[in-house]
Amino acid sequence: MRTIGMFLLLSALVMAQASPAAHPTSATTSARLNELIVPAGTKVPLALKHAVSTKSAREGDSVYAETTFPVVQENRVLIPAGTYVQGRISHVQRAGRIKGRAEVLMHFTTLIYPSGYTVMLPGAVENVPGAEKTSIKGEEGTIRQDSQKGEKIGTVASSAGTGAVIGGLSRGGKGAAIGAGVGGAVGTAIALLSRGNDVKLDAGTTVEMVFQRAVPLDPSRIPPPVK
């Protein structure tokens, strides 16, 4: 009888220790079912809160922006307009004097809701509709200044033309030829010595951010569904 009693006591203790372990699993499953997900590939329009320029920016500098339009899923606002977005500059390259365009790469890392709820994210630049003479290079969203080849050729041609006019006025046709050559040389020197334009994104510039992977949200921390 004593052996049977000990066996029953041990069995009860084992069951008591095992039963609580089931509750966290159940709670975790329930939490996952109630989780809201911002899908990968979601695009969010932002407005920069401060200017970004390849002339002054450095790798590691912070970037601050704000959402300008809400992200809605099934009548529920997942990301309201006015949500702050923080990021960092990952790469900066100034334009060269002979070749090489200015480039800047930034990644967005954090969403900060008006309530203070903070969400970590991987966000990249998809498009920069608010910036002129720029394009997007590569999958990571590098913002690159457009080529200035035509502008530099124009500088050479303009200088040559000016030289020809001055030479023609002073020494006739021969002077015009000499003036054109001198003017062209000056224009070429100016074009070679001048650094290309920087990428410049003024405060308020519209930038389109894209989610690089799905991001879960806590339903209790964002506004309830619209009824």
Q: What is the pLDDT of residue 113?
A: 95
**Residue 210 belongs to domain spanning:** 37-147+196-221
Residue 154 has which token pair? Answer: 């124009």
Asked whether the whole model's pTM tops 0.75, one would answer no
Residues 86 and 163 occupy one common structural domain? no
In the numeric block, which tokens belong to residue 188? 């070429």
Give the residue-averaged pLDDT of 195-210. 87
8 — pLDDT class (breaks 50, 70, 90) = low
d(CA 209, CA 199): 18
Neighbouring CB atoms inside 10 A of 214's CB total: 12
Residues 126 and 156 in one domain: no
Residue keyed to tokens 């606002």:
77
Which structure tokens are listed for 70?
Answer: 């809400």
Same domain, 72 and 93: yes
In this prediction, what percent of the chain has a pLDDT beyond 90?
Answer: 39
Can you list the alpha helix ranges (DSSP code H) found in the chain? Answer: 2-34, 149-193
- In the block, tokens 């329930």 appear at 30
Q: Which pLDDT does position 127 carry in this prediction? A: 86
- Residue 23 has a pLDDT of 47
- CATH number assigned to the domain comprising residue 113: 2.40.128.260
**Better-scored residue on pLDDT, 8 or 157:** 8
Ranges 16-20, 112-116, 176-180, most confident? 112-116
What is the count of structural domains for the chain? 2
Same-domain status, 67 and 127: yes
Residue 217: phi and psi, rounded to 5, are -125, 150
User: Could you report the per-residue pLDDT of 51-109, keeping only the tens digit for each?
Assistant: 999 888 899 999 999 999 999 988 899 999 999 999 999 999 887 655 578 888 999 99
Say if residue 38's pLDDT is above 50: yes
Given a contact cutoff of 8 angstroms between Cβ atoms, the answer to whether 210 and 124 are in contact is yes
Reply yes or no on whether the pLDDT at 200 is more than 50. Answer: yes
165: pLDDT strictly greater than 80? no
* Pair 210, 42: CB distance under 8 Å: yes
